[in-house]
Structure 1
Amino acid sequence: MRTTHIMANLPVADIATAKSFYRDYLGLSTEEFDLTWVARCTSPDSAASVQLVTHDATAPEDSVISVLTDDVEGAYAEARRLGFEIVHPLTTEPWGHRRFFVRAPDGNVINIGFHGDV
């Protein structure tokens, strides 16, 4: 698996309030990805990003980071081969993102996915 991007998933109570802080105060934008329960805030040069998450709409647990890869199927097969707990199976989500959740040995839940335009 080749990791192409990693971003923190920050738990927030209210997306609109959180977006205001990250957009208006820190100067990030939210045009890249914005659903009712998750929004990605990105710097103008796309060098930094963070996701604001109220709860994951399709997975049983929230993840602490999102890792984008160029080979999500290979990453899923390798996680299974190594015996890691799969928290959310490999799924193509309604918004087009193909992903799965795996539990790291330290207990953190990691969202591993591929999105063609990211």
Structure 2
Amino acid sequence: MPDTKPPHLSHIAPVFPVSDLKAAVAYYRNRLLFKSRFEWADTEAEPVRYAILCRDHVELHLSAGAARHPATAYCFVAGIDGYYTSVTEAGADIAEAITDRPWDMREFGARDPDGNMLYFGEHLERIGQ
């Protein structure tokens, strides 16, 4: 009998193209303070070509290959000011400094070595709660 439960989307994981997977993994671990969760190579003799990094409930996938077009993703954060301070001190490439936006978000943008953009934001109404 087929499953009759209604569909429920649970989360999304963006896949960023990167030209140097090892360098990209190091950037996300050391600068944006993510943790490595998974790495894949087709064989033991071949280099890793896919990696998954995570932080809290956020998952980011990196795929080795020519980074033809940079990608962009948005990550919602609780405690945006503390995270901004941490990643800035860790040397993240901050493309857009933290600021309050007219759309009621406090946010900043970080760029990885391949030009992929990861924006981080917190609803202004939640700051200070």
TM over 0.5: no
Q: TM-score range by the shorter chain?
A: 0.3 to 0.5
TM-score between both structures, scaled by the size of structure 2 = 0.40
Q: Choose 1 or 2 for highest CA Rg.
A: 2
TM-score between both structures, scaled by the size of structure 1 = 0.43
